[in-house]
Amino acid sequence: MERKKDYRWLKLLMGPVLFVLCTCLLPSGVFPEMAQKSAVGTIAWMAFWWITGPVDFAVTAFLPIALNGLFSMVDMSAVIQNYASETILLLLGASILTISWEETGLDKRIAASFLALIGSSMRSQIIFWYLLSAVLSAVLPNAVVCATVTPIAVSMLRYVGEGEIGKSEKGSLLLLTIVYAAGVGGLATPLGGAMNLVTVDYLQQLTGTEYFYVSWVVRFLPIFLALVVINILYLLAFSKKGSELGGSKEYFRQEFKRMPPMDSCERASFLLFVIAAVLAFTRQLYQDLLPGLKPAYVFIICAIISFLIKKKDGQPLLRWKNVQKKIIWDLIFIFAGGLAAGTLMNNSGAAAALGELVANMGIDGGLVTIFVIFVFTLLLSDVTSNTATAAIAMPIVISITQGAGLNPIPYIYVASVGVNLSFMLPTSIRAIPVGYGLSPQYMLRKGIGITAVVIVVITLLCWALLNFWPMFGTI
């Protein structure tokens, strides 16, 4: 017992040790400012604590505030605003709405209906949740997709006794499926995320012509399809043939039939979530009429309304003193901590310094160039936001390819693939499944494997497209 306690203290100590090593040993030629070294050190400290878990994950999420207070890496207001961002409000609103499901029994009804429809085969579940999340993410922000789809899957898992995600291989695999798909789906169209719109803007500046969204879909379709196949096959490899979630499809059909009709409270909680999701998914239809009504605020409004619902006895369905105990605060703070870490990297200039390092590696336009650009953007997306990675990487890619006398367009496409992908650390949308109980160690373990596979396959595919498909070099 004592040895276990000592081991925990060793892990606690290694976090600050990594921070000090980064500040002392990182080369000044790459990171000329102490703030940049400290930002990298903060990432190293957070990653180590998230992976080894000597303290609660949410505690680690506050390190950017503490370390920035001590070492003044960037303006503190830029760091603090991550803890009350629009996405944080979206996650808070979604959490409150799903708590109303639990209060009314809607979570069990949704779980039984999904299991009766899809079946309890783990392989069928993986394919279903992956395709659903990827298709939605092609036209919606990744965070919105992940925040709305994940709680539905968690409700189903709780219903079949797999609710402790950290201790459930099946539950962990399904949440990983959703977050992988949300990332890959974002690549399919420019509407998949702000990072794609950044790329479109650079392409338009570069060519002086309008970039049509259908052009994006056509050029990225081979890569998108390859990623979907790679991801699904990789995830299926961890699910044994015949593995089931509870009973058979027929069993869950019978369970669903035995449930009583929906009462008014259950219908109201269901309707509020549907309204929030539909309005989030159709933002483009009303954004001119209500420019301030972003998805995050829709979820908050519906969450407020959920407190107005009355039960048959006249009592409120939800009371804050009960709701606050059930809100997954870990989810909110882990997500915020990941955003804050990205702010330190970006605003200190550390991310740009890494980009300059890549720019000085020597570019000839061949397979190695594609590999370097793809790996740089992929790994940078793991430690900062996808949008920030796009803003940093695109001008670097353009300058180094033009300097080498190359057509920059295909290399911008390669960078866009890397910008959309990240698998290993609980930053950005990957914090969402971690907030629901997915172990960061599990995410890293599985993430290393899929990252290696994706790097090899997509590098070769992009090289083939660049050399044998002329359209890949045009807009």
Which residues have C-beta within 8 Å of that of residue 420, sequence separation ≥ 6? 183, 184, 186, 187, 192, 193, 195, 196, 381, 386
Two tokens at 86? 């629009």
Is the Cβ–Cβ distance between 51 and 367 less than 8 Å?
Answer: no
Full domain range(s) for residue 21? 1-73
Boundary-marking domain end, from 293, 328, 363: 328
- The pLDDT of residue 176 is 96
Same domain flag for 107 and 251: yes
- The pLDDT of residue 220 is 96
Same domain flag for 58 and 111: no
User: Is residue 230 domain-resident?
Assistant: yes
User: Is residue 426 domain-resident?
Assistant: no
Q: State the residue for tokens 């500040």.
A: 23
Give tens-digit pLDDT for 329-351: 887 888 788 888 888 988 998 88
Same domain flag for 42 and 121: no
Report DSSP state, residue 261.
P
Which residues have C-beta within 8 Å of that of residue 68, sequence separation ≥ 6? 42, 74, 76, 79, 344
In angstroms, the CA 262 to CA 104 distance is 9
Boundary-marking domain end, from 24, 41, 73: 73
Which has the closest alpha carbon to 175: 194, 195, 191, 156? Answer: 156
User: Is residue 464 domain-resident?
Assistant: no
Same domain flag for 98 and 232: yes
Same domain flag for 136 and 4: no
Give tens-digit pLDDT for 390-414: 877 888 888 788 877 889 999 999 9
In angstroms, the CA 448 to CA 431 distance is 17
Same domain flag for 217 and 143: yes
Rounded to the nearest integer, the mean pLDDT of the chain is 88
Domain count, the chain: 2
255 phi, psi to nearest 5 deg: -60, -40
Is the Cβ–Cβ distance between 8 and 318 less than 8 Å?
Answer: no
Same domain flag for 46 and 98: no
Q: Which residues of the chain have pLDDT under 50?
A: 1-4
- The pLDDT of residue 2 is 45
Query: What pTM did the predictor assign?
Result: 0.80
Two tokens at 422? 């990240």
Which residues have C-beta within 8 Å of that of residue 392, sequence separation ≥ 6? 346, 351, 352, 355, 380
In angstroms, the CA 67 to CA 54 distance is 18
Same domain flag for 17 and 36: yes
Is the Cβ–Cβ distance between 336 and 83 less than 8 Å?
Answer: yes
Boundary-marking domain end, from 73, 102, 134: 73
In angstroms, the CA 117 to CA 323 distance is 31
- The pLDDT of residue 363 is 67
- The pLDDT of residue 360 is 73
Using CA atoms, how far residue 309 sits from 108, 147, 261, 316, 427, in Å, is 20, 23, 18, 6, 35
In angstroms, the CA 137 to CA 11 distance is 37
Give tens-digit pLDDT for 385-396: 787 788 778 888
The one-letter amino acid at 45: W
In angstroms, the CA 49 to CA 55 distance is 7
